Amino acid sequence: MKQLSTFLCLFLISFGVNAQENNKLIIDAKSGGVVINKNIYGHFAEHLGRCIYDGIWVGKDSKIPNINGYRTDILNALKEMKIPVLRWPGGCFADTYHWMDGIGPENKRAKMMNYHWGGVVENNTFGTHEFLNLCEMLGCEPYISANVGSGSVVEMTQWIEYMNSDKDVPMANLRRQNGREKPWNVKFLGVGNESWGCGGNMTPDYYVNLLRNYSEMAGIYGQWKLQQIGCGANGADYNWTDVVMKQRPGGMSGLSLHYYTIAGTGWGDKSPATGFEKKQYFSGLEKALKINELVEKHSAIMDKYDPKKQVGLMVDEWGIWTDVEKGTEEGFLFQQNSIRDALIASVTLNVFNNHADRVRMANIAQTINVLQSVILTEGDKMVLTPTYYVFKMYSVHQDAKLLESKMISEEYEMEGKKIPALSSSVSQDINGNIHLTISNLNPDKEAVLSVELVGKSFDKVKSASVLTAPEYNSFNSFDKPDVVKPVDFKNFKKTSASTLQVTVPSKAVVVIEML
């Protein structure tokens, strides 16, 4: 974890311990050397369930309003959320996907079985062109996952050439034949996915040798400045990170990490997405907070081999994984999304922000209709989830300077277990405005928080909003889409030139802009 500056540490020693203040946020307003990479707010779209088909893509002949086959409402919502990067085609699907099956005339594309997710037949009408054109329409960067599990170096390098070359070479000419003259200039390439599991069941020593091979060849074809992302660890597998970082190829600029929040209270069991009990609410938040420990420990290993922090930690799959909704296909992973999930998103993003010196990208799983989605669809209906609103509210941190801070928080306790009630991160944008994002995890009690700026005063609170809910398991349905929605927030007061008192409601996310 990024350490507080010496000045802020001295301030904490002098003023941080006050028995009458249970909750205090101390901000070093003179820091700001690290930029929060906007790609921390990235997303993930796999060929899984109704994420692509019925979610993003309905086809040009659909009665659902669309632009060249893409749902119009989805396009508009993702633009408003300011999506910066989108990962595709998987996930486990990526290591069975052969990209040439998804190019050319739709009626001539080869079909394939989606063995991992529901055993459905994939018709490949959504392929390379459809995905990369989508990213252009959204104004976001594409992040391609190459097939290492069942593919080859040749297949990967041909795909790179197809997407990025402007030369008179076979793959670029094939792209032109398929209707695209200009290359897309893809910047992010994942070399395999979950190679320790569905991507090949490899040992780290075996994978890192493959990575060296694939990375070298991607580099030869990578005059287009590809940022190569190696397959990293599953959760707390620190040995995997150690092996890959020790032998990492020079072309690797990122290493992934996958971590899912399983919110059940027993060993390995999942929580319902809705109608869960308060102990499952607590369990979800407790387990989500574990991401801080994982980031710190994996970062420490990376620091050992990469003290200059040239390799980014890319948490390219994260989110809560619950039971699927009743009556839906188990392999489609369709789940609802509650205020608990919004709080999981907020505390996770706060962790990533506060470790922005190492965390350069993150991709929540998944964008539409799968796992912790930001949007759900049902026919021509669309609902924005509580998680969507967190991403929209937190977009103020994208490419802003991280301000180092320290939260002193009361605890939220459940059946003898305790977690901090409050979570936060702070940044300063290019105009000098300071943004605070604060979460109160306690579902029963508001929290009075003293915010102290060290080294700077502020004139006023320019704007503020809050996301909360009637109950700890409230959610937005297609019949009631506005149960959990941000509104203006007024419960704060300036107490001095550099201090602000904020009363954060229970089970709430608050964003404050200070001028």
Amino acid at 127: G
pLDDT at 227: 95
The single-letter DSSP state of residue 505 is P
Distances (CA, A) of 384 to 4, 98, 183, 305, 506: 37, 33, 33, 42, 22
Beta strands 85-88 and 141-146 are: parallel
> In whole angstroms, what is the distance from residue 60 CA to residue 71 CA?
9
Identify the three-state secondary structure at position 300: helix
Distances (CA, A) of 159 to 99, 136, 175, 210, 244: 7, 18, 10, 18, 25
- In CATH, what number does 38-273+312-400 get? 3.20.20.80
Instruction: Answer yes or no: are the C-beta atoms of 373 and 322 closer than 8 Å.
Output: no
Q: Environment class of residue 427 by beta-carbon count within 10 Å: exposed (0-12), middle (13-18) or buried (19+)?
A: buried
- In CATH, what number does 6-33+403-514 get? 2.60.40.1180
State pLDDT tens for residues 142-167.
Answer: 999 999 999 999 999 999 999 999 99
pLDDT at 221: 76
Using left for φ > 0, alpha for ψ between -120 and 50, and beta otherwise, residue 415 falls in left
Beta strands 508-514 and 434-440 are: antiparallel
317 in catalytic set: yes
> In whole angstroms, what is the distance from residue 412 CA to residue 146 CA?
43
* Residue ranges in the chain modelled with pLDDT below 70: 1-21, 222-224, 266-268
Q: Judge if pTM exceeds 0.85.
A: yes
Instruction: Answer yes or no: are the C-beta atoms of 325 and 334 closer than 8 Å.
Output: yes
pLDDT at 3: 47
Q: Using H for helix, E for strand and C for coil, what is the string for 249-280?
A: CCCEEEEEEEEEECCCCCCCCCCCCCCCCHHH
Task: Give every CB contact of residue 201 below 8 A, 6+ residues apart in sequence.
Answer: none
pLDDT at 32: 84
CATH 2.60.40.1180 residue ranges of the chain are: 6-33+403-514
CATH 3.20.20.80 residue ranges of the chain are: 38-273+312-400
pLDDT at 13: 47
Residue in 352, 393, 373 with CA at minimum distance from that of residue 82: 393
Beta strands 141-146 and 70-71 are: unpaired
pLDDT at 6: 52
Q: Which of 317, 404, 410, 452 is catalytic?
A: 317
Q: Which of 46, 122, 130, 194 is catalytic?
A: 194
pLDDT at 485: 98
194 in catalytic set: yes
Q: Using H for helix, E for strand and C for coil, what is the string for 308-327?
A: CCCCEEEEEEEEECCCCCCC
pLDDT at 220: 83
